[in-house]
Structure 1
Amino acid sequence: MQTASTNICERLCNKSIRDITLLLNIPRSTDSGIITKWKQLGTTANQPQSGRPRKITERGQHMQKCTVHRNRQLSAGSIAKDLQMSCGLQISTTTVHRELHGMGFHG
């Protein structure tokens, strides 16, 4: 984060973006991004993640897809139970349905 703090100090000393990029040897887009973030948020630190993390992992999605390919007649409830037994994931039938819909499986 040394670059960000140096960048802001230089900006406060009324140096141009071009001078700062030459001084710090960073791209102009990086310099502009740091300054914009500092002006909007008052800090250059990363902000907390917005929204809830996904419940199902990529491995769980792959297992779900394989389960559906093996037997397309299974209900969302039975797929949820299968994932619970194999991966230990507690997933609702609505989540299973939403994930399958996102993968292109309908009906």
Structure 2
Amino acid sequence: MTEWGHCMLKRTVRRSCQLSAESIAKDLQTSCGLQISTTIVHRELHGKGCHGRTAASKPYITKCNAKCRVQ
């Protein structure tokens, strides 16, 4: 993937609310005329740190809770 392709991918991800590889590949094909497969988009997004999962909620642990958990 060229440097221009990387820049267009970044711009598309910033504009897009949905981060599916299929929708981004279609958007790049229609707006830029860039022929790119969904596999390459997925690989590039994964390399940039977009993993397609939400963060797990972590409970707020106070000193009292920590002491109770240890026991």
Question: Larger relative CO (CA 8 A, sep 6+): 1 or 2?
Answer: 2
State the distance in 2 between where 1:95 and 1:59 align: 15
Name 2:26's counterpart in structure 1: 81
Using the aligned pairs only, state the percent identity. Answer: 73
Q: Which residues of 2 match residues 1-107 of structure 1 at below 5 A?
A: 56-107=1-52
Structure of greater Rg: 1
Where in structure 1 do 4 or more consecutive aligned residues deviate above 6 Å? none
Name 1:41's counterpart in structure 2: none
Unaligned runs of at least 5 residues, structure 2 = 53-71
Amino acid at match of 2:34: L
Q: Are the equivalent residues in 1 in contact too, given 2:12–2:28 (CA < 8 A)?
A: no
> 1:49-68 deviations in whole A, cap 9, x for unaligned?
xxxxxxx2111111111211
Amino acid at match of 2:18: Q
State the distance in 2 between where 1:71 and 1:85 align: 14
CA RMSD for the aligned pairs?
1.5
Matched length: 52
Deviation at 1:74, TM superposition (A): 3.5
TM-score scaled by length of structure 2: 0.61
Q: Are the equivalent residues in 1 in contact too, given 2:21–2:42 (CA < 8 A)?
A: yes
> 1:24-68 deviations in whole A, cap 9, x for unaligned?
xxxxxxxxxxxxxxxxxxxxxxxxxxxxxxxx2111111111211
